[in-house]
Amino acid sequence: MTKIDPDITIPDPIDLDRAEEERLRAAAGLTPVRTPGGEYAGFEQVGIPDRPPQTEREREIYTLDEGEMLVNMGPQHPSTHGVMRLVVKVRGEIIVDIDPVLGYLHRGIEKLCENATYTTVLTYVDPMDYLSTMHNEHAPAIAFEKLYGVKAPPRAEYIRALVVELNRIFSHGLMMGFLALDMGGLTPILYAFINRDEIVDMLSSISGQRMLFNFFRVGGVNFDTNDEFLSRLGTWRGRVLKNIEMNERMITDNEIFRARTINMGTLTGQQAIGLGVTGPNLRASGVPFDVRKAKPYSIYNELEFDVITQQGGDSYSRYLQRIAEIKQSIHLIDQIIDKMPHGPVQAQVPGIIRPRPGRAYGAVESPRGLYSVYAISDGGPNPYRFRMRDPSFISLQALPKLMPGRLVADTMAVMASLDPVMGGVDK
């Protein structure tokens, strides 16, 4: 048996880390950190950056008063709807301030698009807001068609409107399920995925892909409707309202759901306009703005529909807004099928497009709001500049306005009602 010398001491790993930190700080010319002793020494400094504040907002969020502390939610938290970190300043269980920290998913898609052909750009934008990929492709297609001076055939425009409304339905349906899931309800998300999978299977029969569809083309769409797509569409249309009502019965009048969403995270119409919030989150605050009505594109000026609004502006109103818009999209799909003309689905466009020098703007109403693209051409095969406005990025800046005074447990309920997708936020 090996004998242990009693004079040998094993160094404490914490002491080793502290010594290494002091050595590195000395090498960098920084002053050593001195904290008082005790079991919880330095705990009040957890989460505070080891550098002076670089902005007024940083100074505000990282300055702690008596009894306050910082809590990190994310960037790996399952309810942050992607890779996002929330720095939450709390006093006990009450939120004092909250700051979204972005950039963990940044991929530089805009710069990639500036080094790709116009046709390839429609592939790169798919993974941004991965719950509304059809809308991701629609906006740049509109902008590029303006640059090149080409119009999609009427049948192609009807097919575009059809697939984006189907995309809107499954996106809103998942929002309802995730909102319930973030508050502890499992069953609604299972029903939401049943509806989502039906629509995705339907869209894969026309595009060839289940999630990142790559269906739009400059001057039209990649494929015409086929028998399998129309058969799946008819079957789905016959039972979709029943599925939605079944999900509604579980959520809408649920006592726990109502208690955790009514008067929670209230955003007034003036606040929403001031923050630049658009889409269902804006309309749930009583502002009747919809790009499809305000600036009609594609064939929406040929369809009959009203701009639906709610008046509460809270998380419950944002949930009700999505339900109403799902039913509205079903009504629009019925009109599209009835009015769809015969004809080609793709204009005569070369494989490599070289638009005349100029600039163009394309905007669509995505499930999360105003999604737009600004493109500049210098006459070459690639966009000279390509910029995108993602509505999730804008909606997240409402969180610091909505959360102070609420409980930590309410953070996910309010954030899920805004329905952000981090793939679009970080681009």
Q: What is the predicted pLDDT for the residue at 187?
A: 86
Q: Are 87 and 99 in contact (CB under 8 A)?
A: yes
pLDDT at 34: 58
| 6 part of a folded domain | no
Helices (H), 225-369: 227-251, 255-261, 269-275, 280-283, 291-294, 315-339
- DSSP string across 100-150: EE--TT---HHHHHTTS-HHHHHHHTTTSSTT-HHHHHHHHHHHHHHHHT-
User: Are 378 and 384 spatial neighbours (Cβ–Cβ below 8 Å)?
Assistant: yes
Is the four-CA dihedral 22, 86, 193, 204 of positive or negative sign? negative
Residue 75, classed as helix, strand or coil, is coil
CA–CA separation, 32 and 47 (whole Å): 18
Residue 21: its pLDDT value, please? 72
Q: What is the pTM of this model?
A: 0.85
CATH number for the domain spanning 298: value is 1.10.645.10
In a domain, 249, yes or no: yes
pLDDT at residue 389 in the model? 92
Give domain status of residue 66, yes or no.
no
For 422, the enclosing helix (H) or strand (E) is helix 422-426
Q: What is the mean pLDDT of each run of 10 residues along the chain (427 residues)?
A: 56 62 72 52 61 81 84 73 84 89 84 92 88 92 93 93 93 89 85 88 90 90 90 89 84 88 90 92 93 92 91 92 92 93 90 91 93 93 93 90 88 88 84
CA distance 155 to 229: 16
Structurally, the chain folds into a number of domains equal to 1
Q: Do 189 and 178 meet the contact criterion of CB atoms below 8 Å apart?
A: yes
Q: Is residue 256 part of a domain?
A: yes
Question: Look-up: residue for tokens 């002091």?
Answer: 22
Q: Residue 386: what pLDDT?
A: 94
* 3-class SS of residue 32: coil
> Are the C-beta atoms of residues 102 and 423 closer than 8 Å to each other?
no
Whether residue 12 lies inside any domain: the answer is: no
58 found inside a domain: no
Domain region containing 141: 109-391
The enclosing H or E element of 70 equals strand 69-73
Task: Burial-class residue 53 by CB neighbours within 10 Å (0-12, 13-18, 19+).
Answer: middle
Which H helix or E strand runs over 412?
A: helix 410-418
- Run of H or E including 166: helix 154-181
Position 62 in a domain: no
Residue 23 lies inside a defined structural domain of this protein: no
CA nearest to 160, candidates 370, 332, 391: 332
Between CA 223 and CA 215 the distance in angstroms is 8
SS3 category, 14: helix
Residue 200, pLDDT score: 92
